[in-house]
């Protein structure tokens, strides 16, 4: 740290990739696709930046046109990129997203290997973790070595140095050899996290639980999570700590692309948590409700635009929604 001052509010380690989203399909079923910057941790950080936080990224891209484009996009979003390594031997990871009539996504990946999976612990600047208040990660950096070992070492390093650990499972089963392998790594992440954003689908995958209150209680009591945020798609979210809980609703919108909505929820929620200046377990029910409502609104509004990072709404648009519908 420089003079004992933390330079970044949040640092994230994880995947950087290009999302190719299907826009239309020809008579033979071949889609016309639009490229957007992607990767859950990048979307998460971009939302934090949009709402006033200082952020940095640890990861790897290929020495190719897409890798250069991602670096430029992150820089434009205000995310510090000096922790992103460029590798001339592997290509930047690509994801291909197709949509149902309801706007829900299915994924396939060009990642065998992708540059993001080749990040090693030796390539990571630990000083950047020292200079951060919060360390964030997901499970896409736990699918393959060497990035799996790097991620786990960084999580342990951050925890040893008193950083708040935030975690988003971000389950993508096509990237795992077996469902059990995914489950094992998600459980490892939960065991090391302080703040967790987890979807209702991920909760059901892990434990067969379909009740958000039961899921949050399990996270708080069995894993020692300090703030549990269970998202329920367009139905909203349930936030809980040991002192209280609150529901948040999503505004009714006409979604055209749900890519990155969960990540934007997470980044938006953590941005509001940081603004309280309080430990997550000390949040009141009113604060939990505001954090959840802000995050639900930001995520919902993002689905009315294409892509992850480009779709993050302005803070004033989110707050303007509150005033229009009489929330807070």
Q: Say if 140 falls within a structural domain.
A: yes
Q: Say if 278 falls within a structural domain.
A: yes
Count how many domains the chain has: 1
Using an 8 Å Cβ cutoff, are 183 and 173 in contact? no
Q: Say if 325 falls within a structural domain.
A: no
Q: Say if 170 falls within a structural domain.
A: yes
Q: Say if 41 falls within a structural domain.
A: yes
CA pair distance 179, 232, nearest whole angstrom: 21
- Of 167, 111, 132, nearest to 8 (Cα)? 132
Q: Say if 328 falls within a structural domain.
A: no
pLDDT tens-digit series, residues 226-282:
999 999 999 999 999 999 999 999 998 998 888 889 999 999 999 999 999 999 999
Q: Say if 3 falls within a structural domain.
A: no
* Cβ-Cβ contacts under 8 Å for 17 (sequence gap 6 or more): 38, 39, 70, 92, 93, 94, 95, 109, 111, 114, 116
Using an 8 Å Cβ cutoff, are 281 and 241 in contact? yes
Q: Which domain holds residue 298?
A: 8-319
CA pair distance 153, 145, nearest whole angstrom: 12
DSSP string covering 160-217: HTT-EEEEE----GGGSSSHHHHHHHHHHHHHH-SEEEEEHHHHHHHH----HHHHHH
Confirm whether pTM is higher than 0.85. yes
CATH number at residue 18: 3.40.1190.20
Q: Where are the beta strands (DSSP E) in 52-126?
A: 55-62, 84-87, 93-99, 105-110
pLDDT attached to residue 3? 43
For the chain, how long is the longest CA-to-CA vector?
A: 63
- Of 230, 205, 225, nearest to 215 (Cα)? 230
pLDDT attached to residue 306? 77
pLDDT attached to residue 21? 80
The parts of the chain modelled with pLDDT lower than 50 are 1-3
pLDDT attached to residue 4? 52
pLDDT attached to residue 98? 77
CA pair distance 115, 254, nearest whole angstrom: 35
Q: Say if 326 falls within a structural domain.
A: no
């Amino acid at each position: 740290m420089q003079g004992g001052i933390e330079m970044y509010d949040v640092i994230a380690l994880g995947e950087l990739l290009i999302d190719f989203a299907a826009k239309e399909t020809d008579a033979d079923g071949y889609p016309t696709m639009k490229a957007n910057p992607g990767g859950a941790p990048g979307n998460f950080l971009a939302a934090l930046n949009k709402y006033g936080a200082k952020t940095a990224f640890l990861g790897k891209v290929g020495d190719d046109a897409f890798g250069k484009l991602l670096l430029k996009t992150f820089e434009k979003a205000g995310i510090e990129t000096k922790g992103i390594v460029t590798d001339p031997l592997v290509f930047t990871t690509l994801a291909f997203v197709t949509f149902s009539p309801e706007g829900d996504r299915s994924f396939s990946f060009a990642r065998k290997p992708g540059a993001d999976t080749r990040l090693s612990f030796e390539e990571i600047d630990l000083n950047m973790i020292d200079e951060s208040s919060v360390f964030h990660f997901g499970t896409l950096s736990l699918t393959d070595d060497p990035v799996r070992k790097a991620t786990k070492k960084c999580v342990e390093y951050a925890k040893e140095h008193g950083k708040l650990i935030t975690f988003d499972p971000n389950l993508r089963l096509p990237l795992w050899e077996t469902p059990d392998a995914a489950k094992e790594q998600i459980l490892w992440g939960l065991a090391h996290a302080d703040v967790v954003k987890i979807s209702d689908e991920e909760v059901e995958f892990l434990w067969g639980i379909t009740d958000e209150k039961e899921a949050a209680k399990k996270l708080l009591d069995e894993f020692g999570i300090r703030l549990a945020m269970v998202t329920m798609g367009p139905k909203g979210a349930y936030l809980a700590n040991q002192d209280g809980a609150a529901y948040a609703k999503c505004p009714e919108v006409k979604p055209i692309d749900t890519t990155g909505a969960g990540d934007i929820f997470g980044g938006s929620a953590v941005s509001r948590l940081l603004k309280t200046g309080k430990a997550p377990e000390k949040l009141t029910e009113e604060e939990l409700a505001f954090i959840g409502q802000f995050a639900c609104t930001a995520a919902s509004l993002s689905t009315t635009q294409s892509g992850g990072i480009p779709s993050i709404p302005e803070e004033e648009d989110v707050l303007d929604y509150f005033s229009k519908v009489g929330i807070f």
